[in-house]
Structure 1
């Protein structure tokens, strides 16, 4: 790939290892840049494994072919030095990936100051706390980097789905004047001379978007929950994929959007070669999605769970074991890794949930369980001003504290509903990860603020 013959201009263009191994021309000169993964010194022959974001390639230097200065540079290389290697590409079935570069020149761009605290190529053998402490080194491991390559594609696929279905992307404030859910699970912050909070959810603002006339809106952004959970499924900061739809005929319209979105996302990441390989490497590609995802009411869930030996008190929420059992039920009865649970009890839903007509103890709401974990929560919202005010009072909330939200409904609000989807939870379940912290580049939990 010669790009110039002018003096002082580099003759060889940088190429990623994956592209070189896949489509490189033998006996052509190439330049690869990355980190030294390992060096094997056999005396007159030296092998350098160079790692970039796409993979690892072998570079080989023979004393009789390599300039002595270059050979000396190789002798002094350390793991994680940043280098660029120029040389001729050769096919070699015995080399990683089936090819190698015969070294002609090496530029050392950066030397390590000290031995890395974790071995990048074996970083998964370190405990998770150590990996998270040295996350930027951990992510250099191609297996770990794959998690975040997939996460980016999952977010992209959700965005594609919403845009192609007439949704407008909005960007809502993350510094807010009041709690969205009305509870204590908020992070207070000092906002000049006042108290403010980090947003628990874009809930109020996406509803505002519908009422403002956008009709269909979505957002992908951070949310914050001051929950002192020390579990493998909770974070204090995560990314939420939220949508809201106006002029709905009922809960089914909201559910159909969630179902369509998840089908599109799973099909998309399994169709693309890069993400499919990542998912397969984690053993997660056996995702079961039937033509129509199963849907059961909460009352049906109680009965099913009782038949499986798990009794949930009538009117109470599902716990993690119940979610896992319902997934097992869906997999057995419907060949599905997904199951919707609808009509949650009013006592466990927020004040803005639409109650079921004639049965006010239940709501027009749902959770979506994927491989045993709730990954989405949503429902139809109450759009009638006076009913909203009364429901807030019934929950023990002071409507005056939600004046900015309630004002939306004074001037005409269409029937609407939506949902929030946890991005990290989706990635966690696709890859069958054991801890949600693995699906967050720099996770925040009650103990972790750095890096």
Structure 2
């Protein structure tokens, strides 16, 4: 798109434009001077292009004087200053991509201070805390941009697939009166003289929407006040939520695994430029993604020497060992696997019970529920939901929740609620295998965690 400041992007400057006068704009990625020549590498969101400024040999004194000043001006530019450049395209096999611009003029649009908070060119590595403290500058690094572009491609792939299945994208309230699962981990806000909270999840609203729109999804922020300072936790994250009427957990698991397949394939096909920058290939996912029951998972973990009681949730060490065993046995797909039929007591109140089973000598109530893991990392969880009011009230009471606090939600179950199921997925966590990043903060524009409220 041509604008006042540029006619071409860096990637559009090709040898085929030989002899054409062009105008481009971007940031000073690097600059160096060799005698009467100044080399400026200009960067925009598509990449870089070399612009060479030199004093012409066969020119009058006035022209030579003009270009001497121009070379001097370019050589004095500070890295990351914003400039607009005019010049003529020239083929040159010595230049990056076999083409350069012979500069005729440069206008400084915004001068950058020196020194920079961190090295955008990436020659000097920086700790993640340093990078996040200077996030607007860090996001100018090609690697940082590549991750966020893959996040965008992943969201695009998810939306595209769900629209194909006739889902409706919805936008639920983010200021709520009560938590999805009680008061734990809620972030309070002061709302017109009343106590309110930021939504942990659109769970209750998306369930209600199945009684009208039937198939709904949302990609939006959610908040958790967790005392977890790990590479995989954020206080504010992007949650991908799906809910389907007239479906059970097997149905929505099929949707989920197809979402994972669509994301990995689309990122590989459309994001090759960014993957090359990151030197990463997404997992090869084949369907169906293997499923393992909670009972089978518990028995494997127990056999590996872990002291874990039947019915307990699995921690990171247990999941690491489980994933290691399953990968050795070929029971994952690109590292992905489902754990299904969890004990009801470790799942939220709205999860439908399945029946009883003996695990480790104990009789446990199981549920129609699942987690999708990539190796040790939980990517998504979901279940068949309870669609009858009396069952919901009973489950709330068993967990110490007061049904009266959820009357705004429960009362609509008196007017015809269909059987339904769904799941929620952390988009940034999905990017760990998709983009090959070690920390979910790198898949976040401006992360919010226990220590970080700015920038």
- Once the 2 structures are TM-superposed, how far is the Cα of residue 286 of structure 1 from its aligned partner? 5.0
* Alignment partners' CA distance in 1, 2:229 and 2:418: 40
* Alignment partners' CA distance in 2, 1:197 and 1:397: 17
Residue segments in structure 2 that go unaligned for 5+ positions in a row:
58-63, 358-363
Judge conservation of contact 2:432–2:438 (CA < 8 Å) in 1.
yes
Calculate the TM-score normalised by the size of structure 1.
0.92
Q: CA RMSD in A?
A: 2.0
Calculate the TM-score normalised by the size of structure 2.
0.92
Evaluate the alpha carbon distance shift between residue 24 and residue 229 of structure 1 in structure 2; reply closer, same or farther with a 3 A threshold: farther
* Alignment partners' CA distance in 1, 2:207 and 2:178: 16
- Within the candidate set 391, 395, 420, 2:395 is matched to 391
Partner of residue 6, structure 1: none
Q: Secondary structure at the match of 2:13?
A: helix
Evaluate the alpha carbon distance shift between residue 281 and residue 81 of structure 1 in structure 2; reply closer, same or farther with a 3 A threshold: closer
Tell me which moved more, 279-288 or 383-392.
279-288
Alignment of 1:225-264 (within 5 A): 225-248=224-247, 250-264=248-262
Partner of residue 385, structure 2: 381
* Alignment partners' CA distance in 2, 1:321 and 1:368: 17
Residue segments in structure 1 that go unaligned for 5+ positions in a row:
4-8
- Within the candidate set 39, 43, 53, 1:51 is matched to 43
Partner of residue 202, structure 1: 202
* Alignment partners' CA distance in 2, 1:312 and 1:288: 32
Q: Deviations over 1:398-427 (max 9, x none)?
A: 111111111121111111010011011111
Judge conservation of contact 1:244–1:416 (CA < 8 Å) in 2.
yes
* Alignment partners' CA distance in 2, 1:295 and 1:259: 11
- Once the 2 structures are TM-superposed, how far is the Cα of residue 150 of structure 1 from its aligned partner? 0.7
Q: How many pairs align?
A: 439
Partner of residue 417, structure 1: 421
* Alignment partners' CA distance in 2, 1:52 and 1:220: 29
Tell me which moved more, 319-328 or 395-404.
319-328
- Once the 2 structures are TM-superposed, how far is the Cα of residue 358 of structure 1 from its aligned partner? 4.9
Counterpart check, 1:365 vs 2:372: no
Counterpart check, 1:434 vs 2:438: yes
- Within the candidate set 15, 18, 27, 2:19 is matched to 27
- Once the 2 structures are TM-superposed, how far is the Cα of residue 428 of structure 1 from its aligned partner? 2.1
- Within the candidate set 267, 270, 276, 2:268 is matched to 270
Partner of residue 14, structure 1: 7
Partner of residue 295, structure 1: 291
- Once the 2 structures are TM-superposed, how far is the Cα of residue 154 of structure 1 from its aligned partner? 0.7
Counterpart check, 1:220 vs 2:211: no
Partner of residue 95, structure 1: 95
Evaluate the alpha carbon distance shift between residue 435 and residue 397 of structure 1 in structure 2; reply closer, same or farther with a 3 A threshold: same
